[in-house]
Structure 1
Amino acid sequence: MKILEHLQVVRKKIILAVTGGLLASAGLELFLHPHQMIAGGVTGLSGLISHHTEAQFGVVLLMLNLPLLLWYFRYSRHLLLYVLPGMLAFSGMALLLSPVPALSGHPLASALAGGALLGWGAGLMARCGGLLDSLSGGLFRFSISRRLLRTDQGRSDSPWLIAAYLLPLTLTGWLTGWSQSLYSAIGCLAAYEAASIVFNGWTRPVCVITHHAEQVAAAVHQRLRSEPSEKKAHESQPDKQLLLYQIHVWELSRFKSIVQNMDPLAEWVEVEHMPERY
């Protein structure tokens, strides 16, 4: 029975990976690439090469990703089980959709729609343990909602990873035009946010560390109708208290403002990245 259950889980994850690859490919080929917009990372570099040569995007994508995937394989042997099906679906669907014209003639609408589909696909693949892009391990570190909370999450990204995402956008500006680069950046932001929502859901666990727990809790309840799921004293600083909340992504900025107004010295972090000393 355990073997059958395991096989069912594996099959479900592979289906999710393939579905994610198909959605991401639709976002690129039906919205972004017809307007010469690109994504970040290896996917973006593949798009640039495809735009300025006669090479097919799907073929270039596989050629650039495979060396990095083989390098990852040295550290995680099960990685290819979920990565390859999704990436093959991504590349294969790109080949099929490349002759299809854009579904939207407006570049801004295409950037948002294409980015949302790309991010949705990337989020599905990440949830099953796969990767849309061999550099997308840091995909969710660029989420706007997490930056609004000023967590230290982004600091763990190495400079080469950040450069790998920014380089295609810069090259797009030089080679195609800065308007395409701007729309590409908008599409990337939409993709990062969509992927973060698919991967993490619509709420974020947040911990507030404050000297004024009662005032902060009362203000949050009055403005957002939200109660802390847990309240306890700080282990190393007894004069502070910890308030644990589940906050909707659309209310993170408002939540931050409420906390700052009540206690400008308050600290907050997402619970999944909270240091153990808290």
Structure 2
Amino acid sequence: MGIGNLLTRVFFIIVGAVLMAVGLELFLVPNQIIDGGVTGISIISSHLSGWPLGIFLFVLNLPFLVLGYKQIGKTFALSTLLGIIVMSVGTQLLHSTPAFVDDVFLAAVFGGIVLGIGIGIVIRFGGSLDGTEIVAILLNKKTPFSVGEIVMFFNLFILTSAGFVFGWDKAMYSLIAYFIAFKMIDITVEGLNDSKAVWIISDNHKAIGDALLSRLGRGVTYMHGEGGFSGDEKKVIFTVITRLEEAKLKAIVEEQDDQAFLAIGDIHDVKGGRFKKKDIH
């Protein structure tokens, strides 16, 4: 990794961790709203013990940091360590700062937004601010449950615990903050373009490819395939579009071959090549 890329990664991990600290100390914690994962456990532990939140955020994440080093690698572990240190110190420095809002609903909404953006930035640049996902990845290998299902189970348990500690109304506000943060993480990590990868298998591949190029302005790549049952050679068309172009692409494919096989999937990043749309007249 070049020095420029390293400095960029460090800068954005620090920015993301600071935003996480702001979301916690200026929105959620003063209004007794929690997040999921280790962060939620840390908020509850800090409330019950009276100890600073930053201590729990750092100490409780350390075991998961070791697991991350063993399972994912050194770069991830160091990036995560930097983020956790900045987040922990940030919460301590901001603890005596008055909350931005006293309205619990507004705190849940805007706290969730700031929190989600912060976490998303750190994830996008190769780190993490919560160890729950690492545990979920490890358990996923030994149980029939998906990573998402395991994380959801942990968070439901933690958010339910908030009902006993802070009251059930605060637990419901915590659910709102958690949902908003979850969506903001997706938006931050994946971006707003919502790029989609498209695979098309058709005997009329040339006509479809030409139509996509001339009418949609998207370049296509022809790949060689082989039918699993028939053993016949197949041409697979691959292209990348935005979410807004999906309906038009489906119409073009159906017009050229209503029996064509079509698969569309979400992708996070598109770089290089000729993804930029060609002008069409």
2:159 corresponds in structure 1 to 169
Displacement, 1:162? 2.6
Post-superposition offset of 1:8? 2.4
- The letter of the residue matching 1:178 is W
CA offsets per residue over residues 99-139 of structure 1, 9 Å max, x none? 22221111111111111111111111112111111224699
Q: Counterpart in 1 of 2:103?
A: 106
Q: What SS does the aligned partner of 1:164 have?
A: helix
1:178 aligns with 2:173: no
Alignment correspondent of 1:34 = 30
- After TM superposition, the structure 1 = structure 2 runs for residues 120-159 of structure 1, keeping only pairs within 5 Å, are 120-136=117-133, 156-157=146-147, 159=149
Gaps of 5+ in 1: 140-154, 218-224, 274-278
Alignment of 1:198 onto 2:188: yes
Residue 57 of structure 1: aligned partner: 53
The answer as to whether partners of 1:208 and 1:266 remain within 8 angstroms in 2 is yes
The structural deviation recorded for 1:196 is 1.6
Q: Give the number of aligned pairs.
A: 238
Distance verdict in 2 for CA 1:77–1:244, change over 3 Å:
closer
Relative distance call for 1:42 and 1:227 in structure 2 (3 A) is farther
RMSD: 3.6
The residue type equivalent to 2:75 in the other structure is H
TM-score norm. by structure 2 comes to 0.70
Q: 1:204: Cα distance to partner?
A: 1.6
Structure 2 residue runs of 5 or longer lacking an equivalent are 137-144, 209-214, 228-233, 270-281
Tell whether the 8 Å contact from 2:64 to 2:134 is kept in structure 1 after alignment: no
| Alpha carbons 1:29, 1:98 under 8 Å: kept | yes
Q: 1:90 aligns with which of 84, 87, 91?
A: 87
- Which amino acid in the other structure matches residue 177 of structure 2? G
2:194·2:268 contact (CA, 8 Å) conserved in 1?
A: no
> TM-score normalized by structure 1?
0.71
Which moved further from structure 2: 110-119 or 171-180?
A: 171-180
Letter in 1 for 2:104: P
Amino acid at match of 2:96: P
Identical-residue share of aligned pairs (%): 27
* 1:189 partner amino acid: F
